[in-house]
Each structure stands twice: as C-alpha cells, then as structure tokens.
Amino acid sequence: MTVKLYRQDAYQKEFASTVLETQENSVRLEATAFYPSAGGQAFDTGFLNGIKVLEVKEKDGAIWHRLETPLEVGTAVSGQIDWARRFDHMQQHTGEHLLGQAFFRLSRYVIAVNMEHSVCTLDLGEETTWETAMQAESDVNAAIWAALPIRSYEVPDSEIAQIPLRRTPKVSGMIRVVQIGEYDYSACGGTHTNSSSEVGMLKIFKLERIKGGATRVYFNCGSRLLADYRFKHDFMAGLGLRFSSALEVVPARVDSALEDLNKARLEVANLKTQLAARIAASFLKGVVVYQLEDVTLLPDLAKACTMRDQLVAILGATDGSRAFLAVTCGAGVKQQANELLKIGLPFIEGKGGGKPDLAQGSGSRVAGLEAALEAIRSGMA
Ligand SMILES: [Zn+2]
C-alpha cells in the first residue's frame, strides 16, 4: 500500500519519499502526492527528481508512476506535482459533487461521471430537460458562491447509514466521506477544494440522450470557463465588428447575410444556365471544339448542346488540378458521344462515360487536354 498524501492534504504540491519497487520505467514509492486515475478524475503529472511523470495508476492499493527515464530501488526522491493541472481537476471534481447534489434535489440521479476529458460529463439515469438542467446549474452556482467549507473524514461502513449520502458507496470497510457544508455528502477518494468558492463557477454546455433513457450532461468549472469565456467573448466581439453591429443584432444580421447569399447563388446558377444556352446557340452545325474558362459552366453547356440538332460539341475545361471533357451529339448525328469520349480520355489519364447524346469524364493530366480535344475531332471520320 502506498501512503496517499493527497488524501490527507489535497493542496500538497511537493513531497519527499523513497523508491520501493520498479518495473521498467515505472516506480512505486513509499508515499506519494500524485493522484492516480480513479473515480472519473484523471491522474496527476509532474516530476520525480526532475524526471517527468507521464502517467500514474493505482493497482491493488499501490500507486505506480510511469517516468520518462528509470529510477533505481532505494533512491530518495523529491516530487512536485503539476499544480495547475491538479487544481483544475479539483475544480471539476468538486463541481461534479455539487452538480450531482443539485440534480439529486430535482429527482435526477447520477449513474456515472467522467472528468478525464476537456469537457466533463455526468450521466443521469432519467430524462432531463434543459430547463431542469438550468435549475440545477443555478443551484450549484449559489452553493459555490456561498463558500461552503469542504472536509473529508473516514466512517466505518457499519455507521455509514447515519450519513445522508446521495449514492450508495461501492467500497466497504472504512469509507471516506467528502462533505460540502450541509449541501452534499459523498463517498469519494478523489481530491477536492477546501471551499466550494474555489470551484469559481459551473456551466452546463449541453444535454445528450444516451441509451436506456439516460441523459449525459456536459459541463465545466473554474479556470476552464474563464478560458471558454475569453474565447467566446473575443469571438463574439469579432463577429460584432465584422457586421458593424451590437451583439444582440448579430444573429439577425447573420440570417439576412445567409438569405442574401442563397439569393445570389440562385441568381448565379440562373445566369450560368442562360450563358450556357447562349454559347450553345452560337455554335454552327457540324463539329465544334470549345474550351471553357469556367469549369462550373461545363454541365450546363453540355446539356444545352445536346438540344442542338446536327451538332457535335467537343468541350473541355480545367480547374487547374484536373481536366474535364464533355462530348455531345445532337439529333441527326451519326456518331455516338460515349464512343467519341473514349478517344480523348487516355490523353488526360481520365475516366468517364455516358450515353450516345452526352458523355463526360475527367482526368489528372491537365497538360493533355488540348491533345484530347484534337484527338476526338480527328477521330470523327
Ligand atoms: Zn470526489
């Protein structure tokens, strides 16, 4: 068993101990302030004798520290935990207790928690509306601002029934209780702040229906919210500047810009169809070879050309990285567009196909486009 210094004092950032056992780059110490991944809280990182601690795991009561380089048995070590990371975990974890209690008061019961990712989650066994979640969120923040003292103590399992725990503990023997004022009592072995006020704030981001009628609640606390607020504030201020508007009217400005964009897109599509029809109308009967500057016009132009009797149109275009070919054979033409296209495709290393009146293809060899058009024209005989 490793002595768990973080259980006695979650604020201990430095400690001294001895290496008792090693396994490759991992060491077991007599005592440690490094928290291992457990109960939904992620492990601590930091240094042992200046060597990076990459991961911390608990196995059968022993805590193993995986290091960047090995240490020998018997080595005296001085350890430092990455305090910014740990305090962030303490803020999320304490917030999770508060949120669990707030939902408990609204008859929603926690079935699982996870605080190992950038956004924390808490799963409730019941369906929950956004309105209920906001009620819980307000309740939690009131508890945070009430600066409730937080303490932990051990109770034998025979006496645990006297403690108003909201979840039945999964462990037996001596049970560690974490008490937040008179607000919440939980059985927990994690690290927590000394006062609810240190959580700063809790914000729920979204709710998600998960299997079995359960609800996953996404939330964050403390410094993560400041980072999130900074990002969103700058983002919103930037949007306001871009639209030269107060933030409240930005949504309306975005809607109207999207409407304008859709209108413009429709207009462009109509103009392209008209332009394609005009180009097709300008072709004389017989064989026409034509290279378009705008590849997006090619489908409309090919379609318009198929309507022209006695016309074979051999069309080419490129978007710079690919070559495009289209061949059309109008009524009264004895050749077949799909057969003619086959002549040109090898020059652009392309693939494609179609019907006797319209065939299209594309290839990666842009430099071969002109030769492809010429080969199709020559192959007309
Ligand atoms: Zn806890």
- Ligand 1 mean position to 81 CA, how many Å? 19
- Ligand 1 mean position to 189 CA, how many Å? 6
Give the strands of the sheet with 150-156, arranged side by side: 150-156, 174-180, 184-187
Does residue 101 sit in the same domain as residue 216? yes
User: Within a domain: residue 236?
Assistant: no
- Ligand 1 mean position to 128 CA, how many Å? 23
User: Within a domain: residue 51?
Assistant: yes
Tens of pLDDT, residues 178-191: 999 999 999 999 99
Strands 31-32 and 3-4: parallel
Q: Which two tokens stand for residue 331?
A: 């009524």
The conformation of residue 293, written as its DSSP 8-state character, comes to: S
Does residue 212 sit in the same domain as residue 287? no
Does residue 209 sit in the same domain as residue 120? yes
Q: Mean pLDDT for the chain?
A: 95
User: Within a domain: residue 66?
Assistant: yes
Spatial separation of the C-alpha atoms in residues 191 and 34, rounded to whole Å: 11
- Ligand 1 mean position to 90 CA, how many Å? 8
Q: Which two tokens stand for residue 195?
A: 């006062």
- Ligand 1 mean position to 116 CA, how many Å? 13
- Ligand 1 mean position to 178 CA, how many Å? 7
Tens of pLDDT, residues 118-150: 999 999 999 999 999 999 999 999 999 999 999
Q: Which two tokens stand for residue 262?
A: 């859709």
The conformation of residue 35, written as its DSSP 8-state character, comes to: P
Q: Mean per-residue pLDDT for 364-381?
A: 92
- Ligand 1 mean position to 138 CA, how many Å? 20
Spatial separation of the C-alpha atoms in residues 259 and 270, rounded to whole Å: 17
Give the strands of the sheet with 120-124, arranged side by side: 110-114, 120-124, 214-221, 202-210
Total domain count, the chain: 3
The model's pTM is 0.77
- Ligand 1 mean position to 17 CA, how many Å? 26
> CATH number of the domain that 326 lies in?
3.10.310.40
Residue 24, CB half-sphere, CA atoms under 13 Å: how many?
3
Tens of pLDDT, residues 260-297: 999 999 999 999 999 999 999 999 889 999 999 999 99
- Ligand 1 mean position to 356 CA, how many Å? 73
Q: Which two tokens stand for residue 236?
A: 């919103």
The one-letter code for the residue type at 379 is G
Does residue 287 sit in the same domain as residue 368? yes
Distances (CA, A) of 137 to 98, 198, 220, 356: 9, 16, 11, 67
Spatial separation of the C-alpha atoms in residues 109 and 270, rounded to whole Å: 57
- Ligand 1 mean position to 15 CA, how many Å? 22
Does residue 74 sit in the same domain as residue 116? no
Does residue 369 sit in the same domain as residue 324? yes
Spatial separation of the C-alpha atoms in residues 155 and 293, rounded to whole Å: 81
- Ligand 1 mean position to 190 CA, how many Å? 5
Question: Whole domain around residue 339: which residue ranges?
Answer: 279-378
- Ligand 1 mean position to 288 CA, how many Å? 78
> CATH number of the domain that 60 lies in?
2.40.30.130
